[in-house]
Amino acid sequence: MTNTPSYTFEIIPKSWSKRRKPSKDPVPVFVEIPDLVLKQQYFCNMNVTYDDYSQRTFYSRVIFNQLTEQWTVDGMHVAVRVILT
């Protein structure tokens, strides 16, 4: 029996409309982070699948919010909340 925690990810919607002209960009629908370690400021790779079936990988940073006690992973273009299951 292994003691590895299991995670799910909730995609945090980002609104770029205040910074750029609105455009029809692909929407992220699935995120996988195979090398995730829940450690503040840890860097990992976030694999993102979009609604148009395209895929991208982002170099991402793990962040812990002490007020909400929530882990997030931010890849600049896509960010997710880590849900412990």
Q: 58-67, pLDDT tens digit by residue?
A: 999 999 999 9
What type of residue is 11? Answer: I
pLDDT band of residue 3 (cuts 50, 70, 90) is low
Q: Which helix (H) or strand (E) holds 9?
A: strand 7-12
Closest CA to 73 of 49, 40, 51, 50: 40
CA atoms within 13 A on the CB side of 63: 13
The SS3 call for residue 39 is coil
Listed by start position, the domains of the chain span: 7-84
Give per-residue pLDDT as tens, 22-57. Answer: 667 889 999 999 999 999 999 999 999 999 999 999
